[in-house]
Amino acid sequence: MLERFFPNYYTDKVSDLKTEFFTERKIKGILIDIDNTLIDYYENIAEDTLQWIEHIKKSGIKILLLSNNNKDRVNRIGNRLGVEGIYYAAKPRRRGFVSAMEKMHLKNHEVCIIGDQLFTDIYGGNRLNIFTVLVKQVHERDIWITKFKRPLEKHIMRLFLKNDDKMAKRRDSWKEKSAISKKIQEKN
Ligand SMILES: [Mg+2]
């Protein structure tokens, strides 16, 4: 039941994720959340995050911002980073993820979503069997709507993290499902 909110992978910050992390999993495109994943409430971007973005861009892995926030904020951050973005993505609904994959010309088993929220980024990605990576929120301050969801998210993460088996199962279930969807897509 709660497993739909569990990520396939969990790490502290985006800069922990080296290029090999993606290539080993045959991931060709990264969908990434903005608020509290790349930037804090005040729109500060950490130096290691900026370097990571540049590194990813040079590596040939595609990257696209996927945010529920408004056009102005997404465009402003997109311009600063030199990365295209989708605003009002309505995560966890499917349509934002689907437009992002269409934009990148990639299938679900070829992309991952990185974000700081279980109920939007992770749940949304899991619904489409996209590889999901949870990172710690970069700053404690959230926009008001997120603030209410945090205690429950923290509770679910505690349940998840104390069980290594569950984490391993999540990784395996993605591998199995991806192999199946890849086969179906290759046939068509
Ligand atoms: Mg966020």
Instruction: Please check the confidence at residue 40 and state whether its pLDDT lies above 70.
Output: yes
Calculate how far, in angstroms, residue 33's C-alpha sits from the geometric centre of ligand 1. Answer: 6
- pLDDT band with cut points at 50, 70 and 90 for residue 183: confident
Q: Return the percentage of the chain with pLDDT > 70, whole number.
A: 87
Calculate how far, in angstroms, residue 17's C-alpha sits from the geometric centre of ligand 1. Answer: 17
Calculate how far, in angstroms, residue 13's C-alpha sits from the geometric centre of ligand 1. Answer: 13
Give the N- to C-terminal CA distance of the chain in Å, as an integer. Answer: 32
DSSP string across 110-124? GEEEEES-IIIIIHH
Calculate how far, in angstroms, residue 183's C-alpha sits from the geometric centre of ligand 1. Answer: 32
Calculate how far, in angstroms, residue 24's C-alpha sits from the geometric centre of ligand 1. Answer: 26
> pTM of the prediction?
0.87
Mean pLDDT of the chain: 89
For the chain, the residue count is: 188
Contact 130, 108 (CB under 8 A): yes
CATH 3.40.50.1000 holds for 2-182: yes
Task: Identify the three-state secondary structure at position 35.
Answer: strand
Across 102-119, b (16+ Cβ under 10 Å) vs e yields ebbebbbbbbbbbbbbbb
Q: What is the pLDDT of residue 161?
A: 78
Q: Which residue has the higher pLDDT, 149 or 66?
A: 66
Calculate how far, in angstroms, residue 97's C-alpha sits from the geometric centre of ligand 1. Answer: 15
Calculate how far, in angstroms, residue 170's C-alpha sits from the geometric centre of ligand 1. Answer: 21
pLDDT digits (tens, 9 = 90+) for 51-98: 999 999 999 999 999 999 999 999 999 999 999 999 999 999 999 999
- pLDDT band with cut points at 50, 70 and 90 for residue 145: low
Calculate how far, in angstroms, residue 108's C-alpha sits from the geometric centre of ligand 1. Answer: 21
Domain positions in the chain are 2-182
CA distance linking residue 79 with residue 82, whole number of Å: 5
Q: Is the dihedral of CA 109, 110, 116, 120 positive or negative?
A: negative
Calculate how far, in angstroms, residue 11's C-alpha sits from the geometric centre of ligand 1. Answer: 15
Calculate how far, in angstroms, residue 143's C-alpha sits from the geometric centre of ligand 1. Answer: 9
